[in-house]
Chains A and B, each alone.
Chain A
Amino acid sequence: GIQVEQSPPDLILQEGANSTLRCNFSDSVNNLQWFHQNPWGQLINLFYIPSGTKQNGRLSATTVATERYSLLYISSSQTTDSGVYFCAVSRTGNQFYFGTGTSLTVIP
């Protein structure tokens, strides 16, 4: 399978701060997605980003497929950003491999 490593494992931010989350993967992929799992366990799709850069409000993501990593940027963090952020990758769109996540806590 594909190894997916996320860093940092845990992150505590003051409200308003910016952060960068990283996802490294061990093989070529054609599908990469970022998810946010809120404290109630719901998984929300943030980005489908196999390559390039996308932005959605305060969040943006960049994937450099040739170097096998992706970055998720959170700007002006809010308490509602708290939760676990997962990166998931796939070679074919069939089987997906998830990282163990970055647990983010934003304190007011």
Chain B
Amino acid sequence: GAGVSQSPSNKVTEKGKDVELRCDPISGHTALYWYRQSLGQGLEFLIYFQGNSAPDKSGLPSDRFSAERTGGSVSTLTIQRTQQEDSAVYLCASSLRAGNQPQHFGDGTRLSIL
């Protein structure tokens, strides 16, 4: 596609359930980033993928969070045993490569934990 695609756009789930969020980056972009934005706040870095290299997981807030990137393209962010504080907008971005390239964002997934 022309831009970064994220799905679902909205997700409402009960506390304790697992959720999977998907990101399809711009074709040819080797770098992929996940961020979290809580209401009225800036973006918080979660995880970064570059090609087939080991991801930078330094921003993941707990071991309930994990992410995969299959075939260097689509990525899924999984949150296990969701908590109310996980409610936020989860944003994905991609760039042609890491380092000196601009990032392009998807529209995000708004996650609400009841």
8 Å CB contacts to B: which residues of A86-105?
Answer: 86, 88, 92-101
Residue of A43, A44, A94 near B91 (CB, 8 A) is A43
Verify A94–B50 contact, CB threshold 8 A.
Answer: yes
Count of CB-CB pairs between chains A and B under 8 Å: 60
Q: How large is the interface on A (under 10, 10 to 19, 20 to 34, 35 or more residues)?
A: 20 to 34
For A50, A93, A94, A97, the residue with the greatest tally of chain B CB atoms inside 10 Å of its CB is: A94
Q: Is A42 an interface residue, CB under 8 A from the partner? A: yes
Q: Is B65 an interface residue, CB under 8 A from the partner? A: no
Q: How far is the CA of A90 from the CA of B59 in the complex (A)?
A: 14
Verify B100–A31 contact, CB threshold 8 A.
Answer: yes
Q: A86-B43, A100-B42, A101-B42 are in contact. Are A41 and B108 (CB under 8 A)?
A: yes
8 Å CB contacts to A: which residues of B77-114?
Answer: 89, 91, 93, 98-105, 107-108
> For A45, what are the chain B residues with a Cβ–Cβ distance below 8 Å?
102-105
